[in-house]
Chain A
Amino acid sequence: MSEHTVTAFDDDLKFITRKVVEMGGHAESMIARAIAALVKGDKALAEAIVAEDLVLDSLQYELDERIIVILAKRQPVATDLREIIGAMRMGNDLERIGDMGKNIARRTKEIDDIVHPRKVVRGLEHLTNLTLEQLKEVLDAYVNKDVQKANEVCDRDDEIDQIYTSLFRELLTYMMEDPRNITFCTHLLFCAKNIERIGDHATNIAETVIYMVTGKSAISTHGTRAE
């Protein structure tokens, strides 16, 4: 896309892209470390992550403020408008992802040092890795305006849902085997649910990217928005 005659408008658009990417990077790192803290039982790290959510919130605030000013001053249309509305939506999704990271970190602080069933923790790590990969891919798709890649992210969400479901069953089994597992497994179940939600947010972002680039709304057949 060529540049605007008014170059300050291009600066505005670059600013919001940069903010979204910055939020994305921050959200990714929060989730990765929240799960690491959970696995290792690192309460100090968990504490730090809870505090970090404020950083993400203030990034979203900066993004929204700039968008409001752009809308008021420039009355964007067509691709510009879609890009700006898209950034606003993505800001929301990324902020929610940060909240999920904060929830997981809070839980880590609650969990007593019980012996973790190793296998379940590995399952959760696997789920997290896949979800983080989705997040990374969708942010790449955003930066490169890559519809193909965004579509692939939407398609892969099923996989995350399936892993979540099997993790759910596994956790139930552990709870039935030994009631002493219930507390820990319930915490883990909520964490898994949080991760699964992050997958949904990644899909939302993918759909936003598709809208931004094509101007058509992508109704995902996965129905993740409805969930």
Chain B
Amino acid sequence: MNEMTETATEAAVNAAASNRSVKMRGDKVGVFYGEKQALFDVDLDIYEHEVTALIGPSGCGKSTFLRCLNRMNDTIDGCRVTGKLTLDSENIYDPKIDVVELRARVGMVFQKPNPFPKSIFENIAYGPRIHGLVKSKGDLDEVVAISLQKAGLFEEVKDRLNEPGTGLSGGQQQRLCIARAIAVSPEVILMDEPCSALDPIATAKVEELIDELRENYTIVIVTHSMQQAARVSQRTAMFHLGNLVEVDATDVIFTNPSDPKTQDYITGRYG
């Protein structure tokens, strides 16, 4: 008889995962838009210093789940979230939670780069200033420089910090938005299709950046590009019709997924 053995990658990923702690945990998370339920009992752990990719066809609930993670859904009328979501074991839907502070800890980068109509410097400086993270002008200069460096943008813009952020190229604008998110020292960064408006070169730069950011932050990314999920994430969660179908190490999902729905979706057999 033949022995079925765990592959080397599976073993490595499992071992690595066991050493990482859970940063955010979804426990039976449900979302209703008015009467309509968009998300059903999602149990999903987001591990620290990992990139977790959320994939699935349009309307599957992946962006809805992402927006639960920093309570962006609060801004939608008639939206109701059930179940429990924790950040470092703390329930983020607890009435005592300061949502503004939560969103500083769990930052977000959107699909379309959306810099403020201000200078590059002000785009970054805005967050630390309103959150009271800096004491002096010197501190602020430093935070701006460091954030731009971490976002891999400093060298490209250091001589024109006072020019408008909107004057940058699409890829640079997106990295500016990432720098802006980093400036308030978040713990988790949520990204909703951060590269869908970018060309392949800008995409590659953002992907490289995501990989570097993983060292200091926990990242959750929603993407329609299967290849991008495969390239940047360590863990992939597949959603379908508001349900979490499967979550596993990315290497496993893209070589040997367990669920036929995942199989069909990632191989291009869906619908």
Residues of chain A touching chain B, judged by Cβ–Cβ distance below 8 Å, are 1-6, 9, 75-82, 151, 154-155, 207, 210, 214-221
Contacts and interface: CB of A to CB of B under 8 A. Distances in A.
A185 B268 CA distance: 57
Interface string B223-265: 0001100100000000000000000000001111100001110
Contacts of B270: 5
Contact of A78 (B2, B255, B271): B255
B266 interface: yes
A6 B7 contact: no
Chain B contact residues: over half helix, strand or loop, or mixed? mixed
B2 A218 contact: yes
5 contacts: A9-B268, A81-B255, A154-B2, A214-B4, A219-B3
Given A151-B2, A210-B2, A5 B271 contact: yes
Contact of A79 (B4, B7, B253, B263): B263
Contacts of B227: 75
B267 A219 contact: no
A81 B251 CA distance: 13
B263 A219 contact: no
Contact of B1 (A5, A75, A81, A151): A151
Contacts of B2: 151, 154, 207, 210, 218-221
Interface size range on B against A: 20 to 34
Contacts of B255: 77-78, 81-82, 215
A220 B1 CA distance: 7
B269 interface: yes
A221 B267 contact: no
A5 B5 CA distance: 33
Chain A CB within 10 Å — which of B2, B5, B266, B267 has the most? B2
Interface of B: 1-5, 7, 226-227, 230, 253-257, 262-264, 266-271
Contacts of A78: 253-257, 262-263, 266-267
B254 A221 contact: no
Top 10 A-B pairs, shortest CB-CB distance: A215-B256, A218-B2, A216-B4, A77-B254, A80-B267, A2-B269, A4-B268, A77-B266, A5-B268, A78-B267
Given A216-B4, A221-B2, A2 B264 contact: yes
Nearest to B263: A78
B264 A221 contact: no
A155 B267 CA distance: 33
B254 A217 contact: no
B4 A218 contact: yes
A219 B7 CA distance: 11
A36 to B, nearest CB: 33
B267 A76 contact: yes
Nearest to A1: B269
A196 B254 CA distance: 37
A75 B2 CA distance: 30
